[in-house]
Chains A and B, each alone.
Chain A
Amino acid sequence: MDALILQVLNGLDKGGAYALIALGLTLVFGTLGVVNFAHGALFMLGAFCAVTFKKIITLEQIVLSKTELSPWGTPLEIRTPYAQQWFGDFGNVLIEYSVPFSLLLAIPVMLFIGIAMERGIIKHFYKRPHAEQILVTFGLAIVLQEIVKAFFGANPNPQPIPQIFMGAADLGVMVGMAENVITYPKWRLVYLFFSLGVIAAVFAFLRFTTFGLVVRAGMSDRETVSMLGINIDKRFTIMFGIAAVVAGLAGVMYTPILPPDYTLGMDFLVLSFIVVVVGGMGSLPGAVLAGFMLGVVQSLASMTEVKDIIPGIDQIIIYLIAVIILLVRPRGLLGKRGVMEN
């Protein structure tokens, strides 16, 4: 039972990342009708906002020692972070909490990247076939990851977890069980709640704001909204930027779990597309539901008891579920009639 609970938690946590990426993908597809294969790269760029922020605040003053030598005979470099020199103890707090603080950097950066990507490249492909959209966005993803590799190298870049979120929380004790029966990493719990919070914020934004109302109307009937004198293209461009921000924030908070490297986006992209397809193309609730569902199913399939019966099932379960759902419900779990059917 405890193993089952732990795997469900793993699945929800992983599902949080899938859902956030799939949510952005669906927003872009639902508003602009573009199949954006560069969306995984936006997740990766978000993660590298955290890397960049940490690099900036850990920039060091280098003083060459006059007395000590390095092992290769050059004067020893004595390094002191500028943040410590300038801000004292707050500098250390900045370094320790670099991941949460980098959310503040990621929001404007990702918004700018999203809007620039849409205005600079993707808008030229609105009326082109989906195959061409896939090719151009996939090419863009490769270019972005090579740029990141050129700047940051190929090795993973570890990011710190704030001290209070280090280690594992004993969830079992909280519900009256014995010690160490159900323990789970605190940061993963933070990530789970963070992803739920972002998902709720996106839905609330679309549901309870005038901007969201217009966007939802545009998603249903773009022509009619345009005929009412509303510049729907401008709003859709902003939605692309918001989708980029959602992916970027998901990437920032994931960095302590998975030290990011340039391949991070591609690792998540394929699974996220499956999530979108299973959830139903263009359906935001479907993307979220499928994200969490597939995350949990994938984790449960990794249980020793399951793998002892069907070896290797953990590697194919998501694809198997996708095939079954698409056979039973060709439009996905919550897909609407007419989406990508012409």
Chain B
Amino acid sequence: MSNIKNGVNRRKVLKGATAGIITAGVAPTIFTKGAWAQEFRNDPKGGDVILGFNVPQTGPYSDEGADELRAYTLAVKHLNGEGDGGMLNTMQPSNLKGNGILGQKVTYVTGDTQTKSDAARDSARRMIERDGALIITGGSSSGVAVAVQALCQEMGTIFMAGLTHSDDTTGKDKKRYGFRHFFNTYMTGAALAPVLKDEYGSDRVAYHLTSDYNWGYTQQRAIKDATEAIGWRTEKTVLTPVGQGDFSQYITPFLNSGADVLILNHYGKDMVNSLTQSIQFGLKDRQVNGKNVEIVVPLFSRLMAQGAGDNIKGILGSANWNWSLQDEGSKAFVKSFGAEYGFPPSMAAHTCYVQTLLYADACERAGTLYPPEVIKALEGHKFDGMGNGATEYRAEDHQCFKDVLVVRGNANPTSQFDLLEVVQEVPRAQVEYDASIFGGELGPYEVS
């Protein structure tokens, strides 16, 4: 009775309870955007945002890894407002202010993938569990990317892939927590084939030497499909062991095979060796079927081109990016990187730098570091000013779609870095495909 006396009746209690529920349930989402951020792994809670750079620091791709690390270091500097800002000045749209991520300073830890899947997973796990890394990014191998991406999905940590070119990364092995800015083998085939037709004609016979691992298979399939679509015939496809060294026993069968184009689906040291030895066998001085014999290297990188020396001159291939591009984004990045290190960045460095900025920008747009919200901010995001023209992170497979470069080994380089000339910037529309053709499932946003 005393309650009634004090003016507290059932109706008032219900009103109060309802108001309380609304206050407790809704108000935080209005006034404290990002309050869910309390519940995720490695929430910095106002401290430094720690990024995990997982790159090959030892092993055959350690030079490429070193270049990736340089780019990441530069990206962190720019995010924290140091240096000239690089692509922060050209990225469109951009929510980055040079004050870290969501006002929190950005720092980083590093791991060594050794270009081995097990080692890469171990170093990624160590950075997440021990060092507090909020994301994992980097790498120079599709095998490593797929392995680390799967781990990151399990752990609820975003993975921004480095150099990975296999279709599987955003195809059958795609993951909700994995994002790839780099192009893939399908795009290489789609971009390269029309140029091959223009340069060498449609009546050609191809012979493939292919690295015997996942990337090689997808690269061979993409180039074979694309060249057969322009009228070429495939004489033979031969798998070669990874790290073969001497390819002479695989090159000699080509000589009398009747084929007039040798396609080297090799990367890294294998590419350097097979290309060097093919040139020594005098392939470029031969004629078959009344045509000059040609060599094609579908995936080029400037760092690998340095290893091949003069042998790369005149050879056609594709690249994700090249430092000689003259758009504002590329120029800004080359200027920052060159001033910092004294030489231009590789395409691996470019993709890693861009990935870091894209992640930071997505956090700003989401207003939180909470991974599911950052993922949603990245999915379907359209941007420009980062070196490849208008680009989109496709929501269906987390693959970036942008212009692809067809490049040729420079016959008259003006410097030790001027090894590739851009033959054509193939528009994005020409390399797009249906996300469903490679299968795979992204998986859930929320992981336990």
Known: A73-B339, A168-B280, A183-B281. A259 touches B245 (CB 8 A): no
B241 near A73: Cβ-Cβ < 8 Å? no
List A contacts of B342 (CB < 8 A): 74
A155 near B248: Cβ-Cβ < 8 Å? no
A261 near B280: Cβ-Cβ < 8 Å? no
Q: How far is the CA of A292 from the CA of B132 in the complex (A)?
A: 56
Q: How far is the CA of A259 from the CA of B236 in the complex (A)?
A: 27
B306 near A2: Cβ-Cβ < 8 Å? no
B241 near A315: Cβ-Cβ < 8 Å? yes
B 306-324 to A, binary, CB cutoff 8 A, 1 in contact else 0: 1111110000000000011
A 116-145 to B, binary, CB cutoff 8 A, 1 in contact else 0: 000000000000000000000000000000
Point out which of B309, B323, B334, B342 has the most chain A C-beta atoms below 10 A from its C-beta.
Answer: B309
A180 near B309: Cβ-Cβ < 8 Å? no
Check B246 for interface membership: any CB of A closer than 8 A. yes
Known: A154-B60, A183-B255. A188 touches B248 (CB 8 A): yes
- The B-contacting residues of A in range 74-97, CB under 8 angstroms, are 74
Q: How far is the CA of A303 from the CA of B277 in the complex (A)?
A: 17
- The B-contacting residues of A in range 148-203, CB under 8 angstroms, are 149, 153-158, 160-161, 166-168, 180-181, 183-185, 187-188
A71 near B256: Cβ-Cβ < 8 Å? no
B280 near A161: Cβ-Cβ < 8 Å? yes
- Interface segment, one of A3-11, A209-217, A236-244, A275-283: A3-11
- The A-contacting residues of B in range 251-295, CB under 8 angstroms, are 252-253, 255-256, 269, 272-273, 276-277, 280-282, 285-287
Q: How far is the CA of A181 from the CA of B281 in the complex (A)?
A: 12
Q: How far is the CA of A303 from the CA of B254 in the complex (A)?
A: 10
B335 near A302: Cβ-Cβ < 8 Å? no
Known: A73-B339, A158-B276, A167-B285. A303 touches B253 (CB 8 A): yes
Determine which of A11, A180, A188 lies in contact with B286 in the assembled complex, contact meaning CB atoms within 8 Å. Answer: A180
B252 near A3: Cβ-Cβ < 8 Å? yes
Majority secondary structure, B binding face: helix
Q: How large is the interface on B (under 10, 10 to 19, 20 to 34, 35 or more residues)?
A: 35 or more
List A contacts of B63 (CB < 8 A): 153-155
Contacts between chains A and B (CB distance < 8 A), count:
123
List B contacts of A257 (CB < 8 A): 246, 276-277, 280
Closest residue of B by beta carbon distance from A166: B280
Check A14 for interface membership: any CB of B closer than 8 A. yes
Check B338 for interface membership: any CB of A closer than 8 A. yes
Check B89 for interface membership: any CB of A closer than 8 A. no
A154 near B338: Cβ-Cβ < 8 Å? no
Check B8 for interface membership: any CB of A closer than 8 A. no
B256 near A185: Cβ-Cβ < 8 Å? no
A158 near B338: Cβ-Cβ < 8 Å? no
Known: A10-B249, A258-B246. A154 touches B280 (CB 8 A): no
List A contacts of B335 (CB < 8 A): 71-73
A259 near B60: Cβ-Cβ < 8 Å? no
List B contacts of A71 (CB < 8 A): 323-324, 331, 334-335, 338, 344
Q: How far is the CA of A167 from the CA of B286 in the complex (A)?
A: 10
- Chain B positions near chain A (C-beta within 8 angstroms): 59-63, 236, 238, 241, 243, 245-246, 248-250, 252-253, 255-256, 269, 272-273, 276-277, 280-282, 285-287, 303-304, 306-311, 323-324, 331, 334-339, 342, 344
Of all A-B residue pairs in the complex, the 3 with the closest CB atoms, nearest first, are A72-B338, A168-B282, A158-B309
A-B contact pairs, 25 of them (CB 8 A): A6-B255, A7-B249, A71-B323, A71-B331, A71-B334, A71-B338, A72-B338, A154-B59, A154-B62, A155-B63, A156-B269, A160-B309, A188-B248, A257-B246, A257-B276, A257-B280, A258-B246, A259-B272, A259-B308, A259-B309, A299-B248, A299-B249, A302-B249, A304-B253, A307-B238
